[in-house]
Amino acid sequence: MLRVPQHAIRRCPQCGLPLANVQGIDACPDCQWITDRPDRPRCD
């Protein structure tokens, strides 16, 4: 029987919170960090 793949939770490199995947883009709900974006905001 096939098993559902389990992936490790990706964490924000700025604040360490788990990232939310929205339409294939990883984003941090707290500090607004987004993957593949040149002007990434930083945590305060």
Any idea where the domains of the chain sit in the sequence? 1-38
Query: pTM of this prediction?
Result: 0.55
Residue whose pair of structure tokens reads 């788990």 in the numeric block? 18
Residues 1-42: pLDDT tens digits?
A: 777 766 778 889 889 999 988 788 888 989 888 887 655 555
What count of other Cβ atoms lies within 10 Å of the Cβ of residue 8? 5
- What φ, ψ does residue 11 adopt, rounded to 5°? -115, 150
